[in-house]
Structure 1
Amino acid sequence: MKITLQLAAIYNLLWGAWVVLFPNHFFEITQMEPINYPVIWQGMGMVIGVYGLGYWWASYNPMRHWPIVVVGFLGKLFGPIGFIINYLQDNIPIEFAYTMITNDFIWWIPFSIIIYKVHKEYKWKLND
């Protein structure tokens, strides 16, 4: 759990810094039209980076700081749902899905395992 959360922390801090410092780079490498207001994309980078700090702190005691993991998991779940809704409404190009591979999908299983372990631990304590 500790290694997973620390890897997630490092990834989020790096991704957030990349988006804040180079807001048009993702759009350039995916050959997408840059957004009109890069500050919105930079705001997204800031939020993702802040999640990184939360994951790092949670890594010291994932059982105690499980709400950070759950909030992160929910973001990794709702982000793709929001993408699908917007893609189906023709509001966003398919190339934007690239962000979900490393921001969301690869973390679903490890975060689910952590949440399962927390649930199992607290369920055990409640049954005492």
Structure 2
Amino acid sequence: MKLTLQLAALYNLLWGAWVVLFPAHFFTLVGMETPNQLLIWQGMGMVIGVYGLGYWWASYNPLRHWPIVMVGFLGKIFGPVGFVINYLEEKVPFEFFYTLITNDFIWWIPFGIILHKVHKDYRWKLTN
């Protein structure tokens, strides 16, 4: 659990810094038109970076700091849901999907395992 959260923290800090410092780079990489309002994209990078700090702190005691993991997990579920809705409404191009692979999908199982362990531990404590 500790390693998973520390890897997630490092990833989020790096991704957030990349988006804040080089906001047009992702769009260039995937061949998308660069949005006019890069400030919104940079704001998203800042939020992702802050999640990295939360994951790092949660890594010291994941069972105690499970709400941070849950908030991150929910974001990793709702992000793709939002993409699908916006893609179907033709508000976002398919190329934006690439952000979901490393920002969301690869973390579903590890974060799910941590939250499952939390659930089992709390349930055990309640019955003993």
Q: TM-score with structure 2 length normalisation?
A: 0.99
Alignment of 1:100-119 (within 5 A): 100-119=100-119
Q: Which runs of 5+ in 1 are unaligned?
A: none
Q: Distance in 1 between matches of 2:126 and 2:42?
A: 43
Q: Distance in 2 between matches of 1:127 and 1:44?
A: 42
Identify the residue that residue 30 of structure 1 maps to in structure 2: 30
| DSSP 3-state at the match of 1:92 | coil
Identify the residue that residue 99 of structure 1 maps to in structure 2: 99
Distance apart, 1:32 and its partner CA: 0.1
Identify the residue that residue 21 of structure 1 maps to in structure 2: 21
Aligned residues: 128
Alignment partner of 1:48 is 2:42:
no
Alignment partner of 1:62 is 2:62:
yes
Q: Distance in 2 between matches of 1:126 and 1:47?
A: 35
Q: Distance in 1 between matches of 2:43 and 2:35?
A: 13
Q: Distance in 2 between matches of 1:30 and 1:63?
A: 38
Q: Which runs of 5+ in 2 are unaligned?
A: none
Give the percent of matched residue pairs that are identical in Structure 1 and Structure 2.
76
Q: Distance in 1 between matches of 2:73 and 2:40?
A: 22
Deviation beyond 6 Å, 4+ runs, structure 1: none
| DSSP 3-state at the match of 2:63 | coil
Q: TM-score with structure 1 length normalisation?
A: 0.99
| DSSP 3-state at the match of 2:12 | helix
Q: Distance in 2 between matches of 1:82 and 1:31?
A: 21
Q: Distance in 2 between matches of 1:127 and 1:66?
A: 20
Identify the residue that residue 71 of structure 1 maps to in structure 2: 71
Counterpart of 1:10 in structure 2: which amino acid?
A: L
Distance apart, 1:96 and its partner CA: 0.1
Q: Distance in 2 between matches of 1:34 and 1:5?
A: 32
